[in-house]
Amino acid sequence: MKKYILTVLFCVGGLGGFSQEAVSVSTPNHEQDIIARFSAVNTLSSQFVQEKHMTLLADPVISKGKFSFSKNPAQIRWEYTEPFQNGFLLTNGKTFRLEKGIKKPAKHSFARNIAAQMMMWLTFDLAELSKTYNVVYFEGGVHFIPKEKITVLEKITVWFSTENPQALDRIRLDEPGGDYTVLIFQNPQINPVLPKEQFQ
């Protein structure tokens, strides 16, 4: 459960403008500051906009959705609302697909693997992430670069919100070959009371 603790804390959206990327040295204080900032978040919910840039797509595709996170018990609901209604739900250690809001068991091991991968990225336990990624800090954000060269992702970059120290502004997932996805978080709510039904 520990690995979920800081997970989606970084997914807390902020409406602030993009921070200027600048390579910066990481100091223990800086790292501790980030951990301290986000450790106070137990639940959160946010809307998101996803920009998909792929060579397979004639034009970038914009999707919208919302997500909710609970630290204890560890639960995530990630759901698109446009252009399709789908997503996934992790609850009680089990993975479900969401199709038009309806929960369906993720029977296929491939689907479960995808959900498990998603969970890993969304959970932001620095200790756990450091095992898989080299963590490089810069002013206003962090790069996560996979330690293994053979991977489906080349780099993950997160930007902290300038307005809300417990929130993230956006995440960019860079794939080998130039494809990338940007997730922009909007209207974050820190520690809201989440209805149980969201995860049921």
Q: Which residues bind another protein (CB under 8 A)?
A: 50, 52, 54-59, 61, 63, 78, 80, 83-84, 86, 92-94, 109-110, 112-114, 117-118, 152-153, 173, 175, 179, 181, 183
Q: CB burial class (10 A; 0-12, 13-18, 19+) of residue 102?
A: exposed
Quote the least distance from Cβ 163 to another protein, whole Å.
25
CA–CA gap between residue 59 and residue 192 (Å, rounded): 36
Answer whether 90's CB lies under 8 Å from 103's CB.
Answer: no
Quote the least distance from Cβ 61 to another protein, whole Å.
5
Our CB check for another protein shows the closer of 34 and 122 to be 122
Our CB check for another protein shows the closer of 28 and 93 to be 93
CA–CA gap between residue 169 and residue 186 (Å, rounded): 8
Our CB check for another protein shows the closer of 43 and 50 to be 50
Our CB check for another protein shows the closer of 34 and 144 to be 144
CA–CA gap between residue 41 and residue 167 (Å, rounded): 10
